[in-house]
């Protein structure tokens, strides 16, 4: 995955804004969307309850949309909750 300086700055800014509001998140890794190699996923571990995780997703989605509109870069915070129970 090739990331230019502006993308790195935007990813750092995005993560820091989300982390400021949701301090429990931790970066796990970066990857590209399997269906779109231009879309960068910032994978995070989100140790929080489901409602808070949903709230975080809405918050980050607004920031991600702004980045896409303003700069043309697609990036997303992708959360993995170690406490999630799947039935």
Q: pLDDT tens digits for 43-66?
A: 999 999 889 999 999 999 999 999
Residue 76, classed as helix, strand or coil, is: strand
Q: At 82, is the pLDDT very low, low, confident or very high (cuts 50, 70, 90)? A: confident
- Residue 26 is part of a domain; what is its CATH number? 3.30.300
Beta 36-46 vs 74-80: how paired, if at all? parallel
Domain assignment present for residue 86? The answer is no
Reported as type and span, the H/E element at residue 12 is: helix 5-21
pLDDT exceeds 80 at position 38? yes
Give the mean model confidence (pLDDT) for residues 63-81.
Answer: 96
pLDDT exceeds 70 at position 87? no
Domain assignment present for residue 8? The answer is no
Residue 29, classed as helix, strand or coil, is: strand
Domain count across the chain: 1
DSSP single-letter state for residue 65? H
pLDDT exceeds 90 at position 83? no
d(C-alpha 33, C-alpha 20), whole Å: 25
């Amino acid at each position: 995955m090739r990331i230019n300086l502006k993308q790195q700055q935007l990813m750092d800014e995005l993560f820091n804004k989300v982390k400021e509001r949701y301090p429990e998140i931790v970066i796990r890794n970066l990857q590209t969307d399997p269906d779109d190699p231009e879309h960068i996923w910032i994978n995070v571990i989100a140790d929080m309850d489901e409602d808070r995780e949903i709230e975080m997703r809405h918050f980050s989605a607004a920031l991600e949309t702004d980045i896409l509109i303003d700069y043309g870069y697609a990036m997303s915070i992708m959360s993995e909750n170690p406490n999630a129970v799947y039935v």
